[in-house]
Amino acid sequence: MSSIAPQPVTRHPEPIIKVVDLKKSFSEREVLKGVSFEVFAGETLGIIGPSGCGKSTILRLLCGLLQPDGGQIIKTSDNIGLVFQSSALLNSLTVRQNLALPLRLQHLSRKEQERRIQEGLKLVGLAEYIDSYPSQLSGGQQKRTSFARAIVGNPKIILYDEPTTGLDPVMSTIIEDYMIQLEAQLHAASIVVTHQYSTWTRTADRVVMLHAGKVVWEGKPPEAEGSNNPYIRQFAHATREGPMLSNSV
């Protein structure tokens, strides 16, 4: 697996993101019961786990959309790109205007801004949709636009919530390749949340697995399949036999 991308594992002493004992409840229901991890520059952390275990919640906490009930989040940058699970494009704006939003703070010249937008769209294969509105795009095209919007501002932290869900296999691979390329190019700290096996095995340098509000496994993707840990075993092999019941979450 690691042969796919040249991954610079030049670890800086200080992590870009440091999460310590993170806790979050929604009206009595404790979703996160003390989660800790670190992400360094130039590294991608995969977060996996059953549906509803709080993966999106972690990303929302990281970008300040939610406040934690306990624990600490330390980040060294506020320039965050987030690919929303739901795309979250602004419906009243065209694709071009959506991509211009993260560039507002950077005070670029009109020409440079346009160049960056075109480049971002070309990357996800949507150059000819630049003047379309989100409602005129398919779900997968919206997802790709959302991806382009998240990275067009050269963020220091990139958070991907299901970046490849709903895409065809070829486009998934293209997006994964691009995530790998970006990791080296931007030297950003990335977190990818995904259910898609190929996505976390290909793009993540390390993976944490969540279950019932706790980290139950942490390791490198190639270690997942052969691991003795019952949770990651069940998850990697997609079987019914194991500690996770399909109806327990």
Q: Which residues bind another protein (CB under 8 A)?
A: 60, 63-65, 78, 80-82, 84, 86, 88-92, 101-102, 104-105, 153
Q: Which does 63 bind (CB under 5 to 8 A by kind): ligand ATP, Mg ion, another protein, none?
A: another protein
Q: Which of 16, 48, 55, 217 binds ligand ATP (CB under 6 A)?
A: 55
Closest to Mg ion by CB, 53 vs 121, is 53
Out of 56, 113, 141, 145, the residue judged to bind ligand ATP by CB under 6 A: 56
Residue 51 is a binding residue for ligand ATP (CB under 6 A):
yes
Are the C-beta atoms of 216 and 231 separated by less than 8 Å? yes
Binding residue for ligand ATP, selected from 16, 17, 35, 53, defined by CB under 6 A: 53
> In degrees rounded to 5, what are phi and psi of residue 167?
-105, 155
Rg (C-alpha) for the chain, rounded Å, is 18
Q: Which does 14 bind (CB under 5 to 8 A by kind): ligand ATP, another protein, Mg ion, none?
A: none
Count CA atoms within 13 Å of residue 178 on its CB side: 23
The three state secondary structure string of 140-202 is: HHHHHHHHHHHHCCCCCEEEEECCCCCCCHHHHHHHHHHHHHHHHHHCCEEEEECCCHHHHHH
* Diameter over CA atoms, the chain: 58
- Contact with Mg ion (CB under 5 A): which of 44, 56, 164, 201? 56
Interface ranges with ligand ATP (CB under 6 A): 26, 31, 51-57, 85
